[in-house]
A and B are shown apart, each in its own frame.
Chain A
Amino acid sequence: MSIRFELRAQPSKTMVWLSPIMAIALTCCVAMVIFALAGLEPVSALATFIFSPLADLYSVGELLIKAAPLILIAVGLAIGFRAGVWNVGGEGQLILGVIFGGFIALTYGPTGGIWVLPAMVVGGAIGGALWAGIPAFLRTHFNANEILTSLMLNYVAQLWLSYLIFGPWRDPAGFNFPQSAPLAPSALFPTLIDGTRANASILIALVAVGLGWALMSKSFVGFQLKVTGLSEGAAKYAGFSAKRAVWIGMLAGGVAAGIAGVGEIAGPLGQIFPTASPGYGYAAIIVAFLGRLNPIGILFSGLLMSLLYLSGDVAQMSLGLPSSITGLFQGTLLFFLLTADVLIHYRLALEPARPLYRREASNGL
């Protein structure tokens, strides 16, 4: 007997949603193995890892405040991913949002009124869009692969932020630490739930989910993007511009990431650090795929990924493991997700031992 993959007549709708659940379950298994290897009791360690970040209201607030940027960026990226535009520059676009929003906050915050925060959000969006516009321009004019260009621009953005924080923006009263002056109250998001750090940026993420859903499922532009992503030939035939899809896809991610960047400095941080983002721009890629590029799915996968971040802190504090375990589990999760996704198009078939034949195109060459 041998096991082989057989192409399904149609992609399985069940597997589309079962695949993330399988990936989560398998990641939990790997987690338990790692806990066991570290000398911990696997089941209780896993329970601590998952549940302790949800123990009280404050923790739930933390969960929300971390999930918000992930969801926001993931929705933006998903618009591009659906169109086959592979923007992996969310991190750099987020940093540009920090720089643009930060400039407005530091310049006008101390003297300005209530308009400062909205201006920061708009500024952040413009910053992210500009940074995303570079790969879009290179792709549409020189056919440069946007995966490479957007990824490399992440490092450029990081260096710009470091330069600003170590140089012109360093807080004179900050004992020479690499950080900006604290942002003025008018440059901060108001708190939503008393006793927590959960602020109004969560609402922005929710609005993004709603807008993303309307765009992707209801609008003609979303339909065009979907067609472009599924079949370049059909898009050409229908007259849907591939260049326009690249621009929309890249800019949606850039705007979302830029606003998320503002959410960071105007929220929990209240200050600008050289490391403004704990890798949200990258983690959002996982969130987007885990959520099946669907805004509603992203809402849930964003919460899950946020939980992983918090659990990393738990791992460090109560389990004696390094917090970088978060990155390890994120990678494991994506790995299993992509593996399980094979089952959307293929099914496992048992068959008696006999040589494999290729299904199509094996023209005997």
Chain B
Amino acid sequence: MPLPEADLGRQFRLELRGISKSYPAVRANDRIDLTVAPGEIHAVVGENGAGKSTLMKIIYGMVRPDAGDVLWNGRETQISSPAEAQRLGIGMVFQHFALFDTLTVAENIALALPEKLPLKTVATRIVEVASRYGLPVDPGRHIYTMSVGERQRVEIIRSLLQKPGLLIMDEPTSVLTPQAVDTLFVTLRELAADGCSILYISHKLDEIRALCERATILRGGKVTGVCDPRRESSNAMARMMIGAEIQAISSARTVTAGSERIAIRNLSLPASDPFGTTLSEISLSIRGGEVLGIAGVSGNGQQELLAALSGETVLADPKVITIDGKPAAHLDPRQRRAIGLSSVPEDRLGRGAIPSLPLSDNALLTNGGADSVRGGFIRLDKVKAFAERCIAEFGVRGGNADTPAGSLSGGNLQKFIVGREILQAPGVLVVAQPTWGVDVGAAIAIRQAILDLRAKGAAVLVISEELDELFEIADRIAVIAGGRLSASVPRGQFDRDAIGLSMSGQFAGSSTPPEASRVHSV
């Protein structure tokens, strides 16, 4: 594969030769080669589990490779710790931010700097860097008052203060609105123009094609291709990434919606903790055979809404939520399940399943009805049979009923959890981030399962941060921002820009301006 001419005859900023790293269960990196030129925006593409994170941790000094060489500016280097990496000029912006909520921007950044500086000096430097790259941030603001996009800005500024020669961005757009993504790209291009190399980790091919000059594609720990993403089609890259053609999901779009199965009427709920979101006047209604998608940037009330729906938060007025016409807001999750509402939380290992327990026990977690429990005692054979059915029907690989949930891959565990809920034939299914961190194959299977359930006449509510996913499976999309829910838009009128604007809290229908919104336009 020819490299862009600009790279020829120049020294690489970073060069990896034959990097390998094995963990007890898996060979995470297998003889990986990678080169990044100064000022280059280089994408590292791959599914979850392809080895991207391990490779980045090696570059950032968090993990030592078993074999292979790291060359920094042409010289062989041992990067033994993140501090060492920072000293060399490698910065990293993590997917999950490492910021202290109760401290200010300047305090957070001062903590990360290698030398001790007075806060005033730090604040001045922040303002300098911020204005240079168009990243407006008030150094005196507390983190908890900031939107996710703003927090990411703080992380970027923190890395830039170290004057990096290489900036690693780990899935940076998963928390941003489409508009915020555009702004981020402008910043990254400016940085690159200044000579800073950027390693951009992602699985979103469209973004990579818009931003990056070169892409290294990983699958199963190996490099499966290096290409110029601007000249490749998304499909060709997807083939390299997955190793097979992407299978389209079949949806019988002709299902006619039945009668209302779940409704929320005027749900207002004060935040239960200082960093939570207050829900205001949320109303929605879903009919049988219909999928309602709720888009939004995380932290805008999705968790609170899910808890209110699933029954983890019990409300005083029973009539606020009705399931098949029955008042249900006062019921706990087990009681709501008994009248046909199932839910899938976004957090697989801390909520949807218990990692140390076998799949059979995890099947019992939400399936404690008369079929599995009699006279207070567990009918182990029935529970096991149910778990096995779930494994077989939903193509869960890597275990049987006795395998601990924690040893399954994210995709397989998610298939199991979704399968567990769907097999109980719920009339209403509420799913949060159904394919978050799941490989493409599993994501397709899960979306298909949701559509199949819809075809059987169930009402489905999908809360997702991935707009593409909602465009694919939803019949209607509403947007949640600052604890308020917009009116829903039917399929056929989906408009990425309009939804993006709504995600930053600007939508009609809310009579008062959403001052509580945690999202500010970036």
Cα(A236)–Cα(B368), bound, Å? 14
B27 to chain A, nearest CB (A): 14
Instruction: Determine whether the beta carbon of A219 is less than 8 Å from that of B407.
Output: no
Instruction: Determine whether the beta carbon of A220 is less than 8 Å from that of B350.
Output: no
The answer, yes or no, to whether A278 is at the interface (CB within 8 Å) is: no
Instruction: Determine whether the beta carbon of A362 is less than 8 Å from that of B333.
Output: no
Instruction: Determine whether the beta carbon of B333 is less than 8 Å from that of A239.
Output: yes
For A236, the chain B residues whose CB sits under 8 A away are 312, 333, 351
Cα(A231)–Cα(B357), bound, Å? 11
Instruction: Determine whether the beta carbon of A238 is less than 8 Å from that of B63.
Output: no
For B92, the chain A residues whose CB sits under 8 A away are 363-364
Instruction: Determine whether the beta carbon of B81 is less than 8 Å from that of A355.
Output: yes
Contact flags (1/0) for A234-262 with B, using CB distance below 8 Å?
A: 10111111000000000000000000000
The answer, yes or no, to whether B136 is at the interface (CB within 8 Å) is: no
Q: Given B312, B364, B373, which contacts A237 in the complex, CB threshold below 8 Å?
A: B312
A227-B407 in contact given A9-B25, A237-B333 (Cβ < 8 Å): no
The answer, yes or no, to whether B112 is at the interface (CB within 8 Å) is: yes
The answer, yes or no, to whether A230 is at the interface (CB within 8 Å) is: yes
Instruction: Determine whether the beta carbon of B86 is less than 8 Å from that of A354.
Output: no
The answer, yes or no, to whether A223 is at the interface (CB within 8 Å) is: yes
Instruction: Determine whether the beta carbon of B406 is less than 8 Å from that of A238.
Output: no
The answer, yes or no, to whether A221 is at the interface (CB within 8 Å) is: yes
The answer, yes or no, to whether A365 is at the interface (CB within 8 Å) is: yes
User: Which of A219, A227, A238, A240 has the largest count of B CB atoms less than 10 A from its CB?
Assistant: A238
Interface residues in B354-387 (C-beta closer than 8 Å to A): 354, 356-357, 361, 364-366, 368, 373, 376-378
The answer, yes or no, to whether A233 is at the interface (CB within 8 Å) is: yes
Cα(A179)–Cα(B94), bound, Å? 69
User: Which of A230, A234, A240, A365 has the largest count of B CB atoms less than 10 A from its CB?
Assistant: A234
Instruction: Determine whether the beta carbon of B62 is less than 8 Å from that of A241.
Output: no
Interface residues in A325-365 (C-beta closer than 8 Å to B): 354-355, 357-358, 362-365
The answer, yes or no, to whether B353 is at the interface (CB within 8 Å) is: yes
The answer, yes or no, to whether A10 is at the interface (CB within 8 Å) is: yes
Instruction: Determine whether the beta carbon of A227 is less than 8 Å from that of B85.
Output: no
Contact flags (1/0) for B53-72 with A, using CB distance below 8 Å?
A: 00000001111100000000
Instruction: Determine whether the beta carbon of B81 is less than 8 Å from that of A237.
Output: no
For B365, the chain A residues whose CB sits under 8 A away are 227, 234, 237-238
Instruction: Determine whether the beta carbon of A239 is less than 8 Å from that of B332.
Output: yes
The answer, yes or no, to whether B334 is at the interface (CB within 8 Å) is: yes
User: Which of B336, B351, B407 has the largest count of A CB atoms less than 10 A from its CB?
Assistant: B351
Instruction: Determine whether the beta carbon of B377 is less than 8 Å from that of A219.
Output: yes
For A9, the chain B residues whose CB sits under 8 A away are 23-25, 407
Instruction: Determine whether the beta carbon of A230 is less than 8 Å from that of B351.
Output: no
Interface residues in A182-224 (C-beta closer than 8 Å to B): 214, 218-221, 223
Q: Given A214, A227, A357, A364, which contacts B354 in the complex, CB threshold below 8 Å?
A: A227
B24 to chain A, nearest CB (A): 5
Interface residues in B208-254 (C-beta closer than 8 Å to A): none
Cα(A363)–Cα(B112), bound, Å? 10
B389 to chain A, nearest CB (A): 19
A364-B112 in contact given A237-B310, A239-B333, A241-B332 (Cβ < 8 Å): yes
Chain A: CB-nearest residue to B380:
A218
The answer, yes or no, to whether A112 is at the interface (CB within 8 Å) is: no
For B377, the chain A residues whose CB sits under 8 A away are 214, 218-220
The answer, yes or no, to whether A320 is at the interface (CB within 8 Å) is: no
Chain A: CB-nearest residue to B92:
A364
A239-B354 in contact given A10-B407, A220-B377, A358-B62 (Cβ < 8 Å): no
Instruction: Determine whether the beta carbon of B376 is less than 8 Å from that of A219.
Output: yes
B457 to chain A, nearest CB (A): 25
Chain B: CB-nearest residue to A360:
B62
For A355, the chain B residues whose CB sits under 8 A away are 80-81
B229 to chain A, nearest CB (A): 28
B251 to chain A, nearest CB (A): 28
Instruction: Determine whether the beta carbon of B350 is less than 8 Å from that of A233.
Output: yes
B370 to chain A, nearest CB (A): 11
Cα(A223)–Cα(B23), bound, Å? 33
For A240, the chain B residues whose CB sits under 8 A away are 334
Cα(A365)–Cα(B91), bound, Å? 11
The answer, yes or no, to whether B301 is at the interface (CB within 8 Å) is: no
Chain A: CB-nearest residue to B331:
A239
For A365, the chain B residues whose CB sits under 8 A away are 98, 111-112
Instruction: Determine whether the beta carbon of A223 is less than 8 Å from that of B337.
Output: no
For B112, the chain A residues whose CB sits under 8 A away are 364-365
4 nearest A-B residue pairs (beta carbon): A239-B333, A364-B82, A239-B334, A363-B98
* Other A-B pairs, 14, CB within 8 Å; known A236-B312, A237-B366, A362-B62: A9-B24, A220-B368, A223-B364, A233-B351, A234-B351, A237-B312, A237-B365, A357-B62, A357-B63, A357-B80, A363-B98, A364-B82, A364-B92, A364-B112
8 contacts between A and B (CB under 8 A): A218-B377, A220-B373, A220-B378, A227-B357, A227-B365, A234-B353, A237-B310, A238-B368
